């Protein structure tokens, strides 16, 4: 597991959707910060069943436990994946 820190840039967040989502027309990673604030990042397909997002400046602005969830829209189906946990640490 990679350690993630407040202020990191370029870290890739990968979520395995567990099924073929290659026909997805909208791919997002929804994140809930430790403060309760919610954000959504536009993701890209990684293989046929995973989505990924490269963290940008300002995305990881709070230390603590984050919740992550895939959201996918495909022809004939749209919905959310399971919730994953990510810990973001302060730097020394």
CATH code at 51?
Answer: 2.60.40.10
User: Looking at the whole model, is its pTM more than 0.85?
Assistant: yes
> How many structural domains does the chain have?
1
Report the pLDDT value the prediction gives residue 76, as an integer from 0 to 100: 94
Report the pLDDT value the prediction gives residue 1, as an integer from 0 to 100: 52
Report the pLDDT value the prediction gives residue 33, as an integer from 0 to 100: 98
pLDDT (tens digit, 0 to 9) for every residue of the chain, 92 residues total? 578 999 999 999 999 999 999 999 999 999 999 999 999 999 999 999 999 999 999 999 999 999 999 999 999 999 999 999 999 999 87
Return the bridge partners of 54, or none: 12
Q: How far is residue 22 from each of residues 25, 47, 50, 53, 72, measured CA to CA in Å?
A: 9, 8, 9, 16, 10
Contact 54, 12 (CB under 8 A): yes
Q: How far is residue 87 from each of residues 23, 27, 81, measured CA to CA in Å?
A: 31, 22, 19
Report the pLDDT value the prediction gives residue 3, as an integer from 0 to 100: 87
């Amino acid at each position: 597991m990679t350690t993630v820190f407040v202020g990191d840039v370029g870290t890739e967040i990968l979520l395995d959707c567990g099924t073929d989502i290659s026909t997805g027309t909208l791919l997002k990673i929804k994140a809930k910060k430790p403060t309760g604030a919610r954000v959504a990042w536009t993701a890209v397909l990684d293989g046929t069943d995973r989505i990924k997002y490269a963290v940008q400046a300002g995305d990881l602005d709070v230390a603590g436990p984050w919740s992550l969830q895939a959201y996918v829209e495909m022809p004939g189906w749209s919905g959310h994946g399971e919730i994953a946990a990510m810990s973001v640490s302060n730097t020394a």
